[in-house]
Amino acid sequence: MWISFTKCPLVFRKQSINLIRCSSNLGLSEYVPNCPPADPNEVERLQDFVLSSRRLFVMTGAGISTESGIPDYRSEGVGLYARTERRPIQHAEFVRSQAARRRYWARNFVGWPQFSSHKPNKAHMALYNWENAAKLHWLVTQNVDALHAKAGQRRLTELHGCTHRVICLGCQTVSSRFELQERFIALNPSWNEHAYGVAPDGDVFLTDEQVSNFRVPPCNKCGGILKPQVTFFGDTVNRELVFSLYEQLGQADAMLVVGSSLQVYSGYRFALKAQEKGIPIAILNIGPTRADHLAVVKVIARCGDILPKIMPLNRHQQETVS
Ligand SMILES: [Zn+2]
């Protein structure tokens, strides 16, 4: 189903890229891979796994946000790698090339109103409820969409940063992406170009010709280069952040992976660390993951179909907490 142009802030001319949606309330099948019904025995084992943990370390990935209407990169058939020729910007290219930055920000500017409007889904809310039930020790997400923060999660680390924040590469000042949007609008009052689709990082599809006149402001404080506070491909995650998360993992008694294939080492290393520490691992994901061989429980299902059904506490634990 295509959105009426009159209701949609973006105009889509490239019919072949059929992944655009102006609302996150539309059909999930556009972004979520097909999946057979979950094995009830595995779901029961996941329930037991969660109940038996007192300090659960949870890692989430793109699979939890596809149900909010945000496409991932890697899912078979529906991920951006499968559907388009586009690949995310590399860190070195962003730092090195003013033209690359202009192109990135122009696309990001157009995609921002839609990308920033996505809402947490029932899987995010389930994990928020687990935190309130004192079940969840720490949540680390590989996502940069702010949906866990929007759900209210506090015991949270955004491993690869967040598109809602901007950092100056000169003075390291962090500011709001919403503020930057206002500066973009002020600098580019007549800029009204067409977008073709939103990527996981909020980027959209534009031609070089369309972005050539787009103006990008520098840092207000030092005149430095502004960059989303996001770990781009080709960059590495801060070592201190990783070590602090290893400490959190070391205080946990179980690890649950939600909606991630763990193909990227920055996430996979936490599964390796859990194994090294003798911490059992459960996985909820539609497709195969890099850590399947390390898991004691593997549920193949949509996150939003399973997490809300998992009770974080049994009756005895509820009495203890209250
Ligand atoms: Zn600065």
The string of pLDDT tens digits covering residues 147-182 is: 999 999 999 999 999 999 999 999 999 999 999 999
Is 161 annotated for ligand binding? no
Would the pLDDT of 195 be above 70? no
Amino acid present at 311: M
Would you say 63 is a known binding-site residue?
yes
Checking if the pLDDT of 80 tops 60, the result is no
Distance in Å, CA 186 to ligand 1 centroid: 19
DSSP state of 187: H
Q: According to the model, what pLDDT value does residue 310 have?
A: 96
72 labelled binding-site residue: yes
**Other Cβ atoms closer than 10 A to 221:** 12
Structure confidence at residue 247 (pLDDT): 98
- Position 40 scores a pLDDT of 95
pLDDT at residue 112 greater than cutoff 80: yes
More confident: 157 or 89? 157
pLDDT score of 262 more than 60:
yes
With helix as H, strand as E and coil as C, how does the chain read? CCCCCCCCCCCCCCCCCCCCCCCCCCCHHHCCCCCCCCCHHHHHHHHHHHHHCCCEEEEECHHHCHHHCCCCCCCCCCCHHHHCCCCCCEHHHHHHCHHHHHHHHHHHHHHHHHHCCCCCCHHHHHHHHHHHCCCEEEEEECCCCCHHHHHCCCCEEECCEEEEEEEECCCCCEEEHHHHHHHHHHHCCCCCCCCCCCCCCCCCCCCHHHHCCCCCCCCCCCCCCEEEEECCECCCCCHHHHHHHHHHHHCCCEEEEECCCCCCHHHHHHHHHHHHCCCCEEEECCCCCCCHHHCCEEECCCHHHHHHHCCCCCHHHHHHHC
- Does 302 appear as a known binding residue? no
Question: Is 50 exceeded by the pLDDT of residue 21?
Answer: no
Which residue type sits at 212?
A: S
Residue 231 pLDDT level (bands cut at 50, 70, 90): very high
pLDDT tens column, 53-64:
999 999 999 999
pLDDT at 137: 98
List the CATH code of the domain at 38-321: 3.40.50.1220
Q: 287 labelled as ligand-binding?
A: yes
pLDDT score at 299: 97
Instruction: Report pLDDT digits (tens) over 220-230.
Output: 999 999 999 99
Q: Which residue reads 């994901």 in tokens?
A: 285
Give the pLDDT confidence score for residue 74 in this predicted structure. Answer: 55
User: Domain residues of the chain, as ranges?
Assistant: 38-321
How far, in Å, from the CA of 225 to the mean position of ligand 1? 7
271 known member of a binding site: no
CA of 264 relative to ligand 1 center, distance in Å: 30
Q: Is 320 annotated as a binding residue?
A: no
Distance 176 CA to ligand 1 centre (A): 13
Q: What is the mean pLDDT of the chain?
A: 84
pLDDT digits (tens, 9 = 90+) for 243-257: 999 999 999 999 999
Residue 75 is assigned to a ligand binding site: yes
- Residues 107-132 have a mean pLDDT of 93
For residue 6, the model assigns a pLDDT of 30
With a cut of 80, say whether residue 28 has pLDDT above it.
no
Residue 78 banded pLDDT, cuts 50, 70, 90: very low
Predicted pLDDT at 14: 32
The answer to the question of whether 73 is labelled as a binding residue is yes
> How much distance in Å is there from the Cα of 217 to the middle of ligand 1?
11
Tokens of 221: 């404080």
Q: Got the DSSP string for 286-319? A: SS--TTGGG-SEEE-S-HHHHGGGS-SS-HHHHH
* pLDDT mean over 300-310: 96
Q: What is the mean pLDDT of residues 25-41?
A: 71
- Does position 48 have pLDDT exceeding 70, yes or no? yes
Q: How far apart are the CA of 310 and the centre of ligand 1, in A?
A: 45
| CB contact at 8 A, 188 and 206 | no
Rounded mean pLDDT, 300-319? 90
Mean pLDDT across 136-141? 98
How much of the chain exceeds pLDDT 70, in percent? 80
Say how many Å lie between the CA of residue 224 and the centre of ligand 1.
5
Active site residues: 160
pLDDT, position 10: 33
What is the per-residue pLDDT for 88? 78
Q: Which residue from 238, 320, 311, 249 is spatially nearest to 281, judged by alpha carbons?
A: 249
CB 262 within 8 A of CB 176: no
Ligand 1: centre distance to CA 157 (Å) = 24
Residue 233 DSSP class: B
Residue 110 — very low, low, confident or very high, per pLDDT cuts 50/70/90? Answer: confident
Distance 165 CA to ligand 1 centre (A): 14
H helix runs in 172-264, sequence order: 177-187, 208-211, 239-250
Highest mean pLDDT among 67-71, 86-90, 235-239: 235-239
Question: Nearest-CA neighbor of 188 among 214, 206, 169, 209?
Answer: 214
CB-based burial of residue 143 (10 Å sphere; 0-12 exposed, 13-18 middle, 19+ buried)?
Answer: buried
Tell me the average pLDDT across 192-220: 71
- pTM score of the predicted model: 0.83
